[in-house]
């Protein structure tokens, strides 16, 4: 099946620093999604990308859908303590007739040092 390689696995940064994480796949996707998961909660959608090459921002978050449709990155600018959590990339493949497959990466655990 499809697999996503998400990196880095974890990172420790100082408050105020910028963060970058990415996802690559051997398969193409129709949609790339970035979710954040806090402890004891389900994943919450941050950004959705629908077109190859698309660059989308949501506040301090910026994400891009790679031109090859096989990769995506997420940047967080000026990190704050509440950015702590696990960030998951997910690739969605629409295979027609209402059939969608969502494949998740293993996550990037972000720790922010005040």
Partner 1 sequence: EAGVVQSPRYKIIEKKQPVAFWCNPISGHNTLYWYRQNLGQGPELLIRYENEEAVDDSQLPKDRFSAERLKGVDSTLKIQPAELGDSAVYLCASSPGTGAINIQYFGAGTRLSVL
Q: Which stretch binds partner 1 (CB under 8 A): 11-19, 44-52, 55-63, 76-84?
A: 44-52
Alpha-carbon distance values, 93 to 22, 43, 49, 73, 84 (Å): 18, 19, 12, 18, 29
Should residue 42 be labelled a site residue for partner 1 when binding is judged by CB under 8 A?
yes
In the complex with partner 1, the residue whose CB is nearer, 36 or 83, is 36
Should residue 106 be labelled a site residue for partner 1 when binding is judged by CB under 8 A?
yes
Q: Nearest to residue 87, comparing CAs of 42, 34, 24?
A: 34
Dihedral of CA atoms 25, 31, 94, 2 in degrees, nearest 10, equals 20
User: Which residues would be at the binding site for partner 1 (CB under 8 A)?
Assistant: 4, 30-31, 33, 35, 40-45, 48, 50, 88, 90, 92, 94, 98-102, 104-107
């Amino acid at each position: 099946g499809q697999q996503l390689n998400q990196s880095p696995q974890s990172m420790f940064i100082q408050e105020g620093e910028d963060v970058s994480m990415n996802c690559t796949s051997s398969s193409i996707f129709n949609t790339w999604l970035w979710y954040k998961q806090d402890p004891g909660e389900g994943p919450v959608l941050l950004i959705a990308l629908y077109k190859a090459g698309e660059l989308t921002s949501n506040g301090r978050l910026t994400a891009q859908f790679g031109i090859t449709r096989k990769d995506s990155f997420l940047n967080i600018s000026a990190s704050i303590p509440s950015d702590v959590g696990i960030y998951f990339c997910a690739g969605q493949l629409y295979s027609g007739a209402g059939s969608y497959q969502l494949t998740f990466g293993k996550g990037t655990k972000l720790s922010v040092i005040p």
